[in-house]
Amino acid sequence: MAKFRYRMQSILDIKSKMETQAKQEFAAAKNALDKEEEILMGLHKRKTLYEQEGRELLKGHLIVRDINDNKEAILRMEDFISTQLVQVNKAQARLESARERMTNAMKERKTYETLKEKAFDDFILELNHQESKEVDELTSYTYGQKRQVNQ
């Protein structure tokens, strides 16, 4: 029996590897985004703590130096937050880019798999046709042999 050999198998293998690599890049980009968002949340928490501390400073004895230090800390946190927002946006852009590459790699692999399936179906049809032809030849030969013996 003939064995099916897909002539573009090496390309399909490469496309599968490219898809795997794109998935890994996507996962790395997602992890980087998660890390940047975690840093941003930490900065927001610190700012909230400084704001609570500022309210507490205004309740008791007013120490101008501590109040000014607190305001300065809040302003610094706002600067850090705005800088971190830029980092988060960059990480989101990298994630989206990685998602697009992954989607394209998946589409390409799927296309080649579809082509492989079609080639296999054609192979099966050809094999069935060849088998049918051989059966017809065998039947004709057997029928011819019986006619010769009967005559």
- What pLDDT is recorded for position 1? 63
Name the pLDDT band for 86 (thresholds 50, 70, 90): very high
Angle (CA) 9-11-15 rounded to 5° is: 115
Q: What is the mean pLDDT of the chain?
A: 92
Name the pLDDT band for 135 (thresholds 50, 70, 90): confident
Residue 39 burial class via C-beta count within 10 angstroms: exposed 0-12, middle 13-18, buried 19 and up: middle
Per-residue pLDDT tens digits for 12-45: 999 999 999 999 999 999 999 999 999 999 999 9
- Other Cβ atoms closer than 10 A to 29: 21
Looking at the chain, the whole-number percentage of residues with pLDDT higher than 90 is 75
Task: Reduce the DSSP state of residue 6 to 3 states and report it.
Answer: coil
- What pLDDT is recorded for position 151? 65
Return the minimum-mean-pLDDT range out of 32-36, 51-55, 134-138. Answer: 134-138
